[in-house]
Amino acid sequence: MLRPKPAAIDRAAALRYMGAAGWQPDAPTGRLLAEAERQVLEAAVPRAVWRTLPREAFLPPDAGRDLERHLAGCGQVLALTATLGGEVDRLLRRFELTDIALAAAADALASSLLEQVCDALEEELRAELCKKGLYLTGRFAPGYGDCPLELNDALCLAVDSIRGCGVAVTAQHLLAPRKSTTALLGVADHPVTGAPAGCATCHLRENCSFRQKGITCFSQT
pLDDT in tens, 37-59: 999 999 999 999 999 999 998 88
CATH number (domain holding residue 33): 3.40.109.40
Q: pLDDT value at position 220? A: 52
Q: pLDDT value at position 57? A: 85
Task: Please tell me the distance from the alpha carbon of residue 58 to that of residue 27, in angstroms, as a whole number.
Answer: 50
Q: Is the dihedral of CA 64, 65, 71, 75 positive or negative?
A: positive
Strand order in the sheet with 135-136: 47-54, 76-83, 180-188, 135-136
Asked whether residue 138 is assigned to any structural domain, the reply reads: yes
Asked whether residue 221 is assigned to any structural domain, the reply reads: no
**Domain around 106:** 11-206
Q: pLDDT value at position 204? A: 57
The yes-or-no verdict on residue 206 having pLDDT over 90 is no
Task: Please tell me the distance from the alpha carbon of residue 17 to that of residue 149, in angstroms, as a whole number.
Answer: 20
Asked whether residue 5 is assigned to any structural domain, the reply reads: no
Tally the domains of the chain: 1
pLDDT digits (tens, 9 = 90+) for 149-162: 999 999 999 999 99
Asked whether residue 51 is assigned to any structural domain, the reply reads: yes
Asked whether residue 167 is assigned to any structural domain, the reply reads: yes
The yes-or-no verdict on residue 82 having pLDDT over 50 is yes
Mean pLDDT of 15-23: 90
Q: pLDDT value at position 130? A: 96
**Total-model pTM:** 0.89
Higher-confidence residue of 158 and 212: namely 158
The model's confidence at residue 221, banded by pLDDT at 50, 70 and 90, is: very low
Q: Which residues contact 172 (CB under 8 A, 6 or more apart)?
A: 149
The yes-or-no verdict on residue 61 having pLDDT over 80 is yes
Asked whether residue 218 is assigned to any structural domain, the reply reads: no
The yes-or-no verdict on residue 139 having pLDDT over 90 is yes
Task: Please tell me the distance from the alpha carbon of residue 13 to that of residue 211, in angstroms, as a whole number.
Answer: 17
Task: Please tell me the distance from the alpha carbon of residue 70 to that of residue 186, in angstroms, as a whole number.
Answer: 7
Asked whether residue 2 is assigned to any structural domain, the reply reads: no
The model's confidence at residue 188, banded by pLDDT at 50, 70 and 90, is: very high
Q: pLDDT value at position 136? A: 97
Asked whether residue 35 is assigned to any structural domain, the reply reads: yes
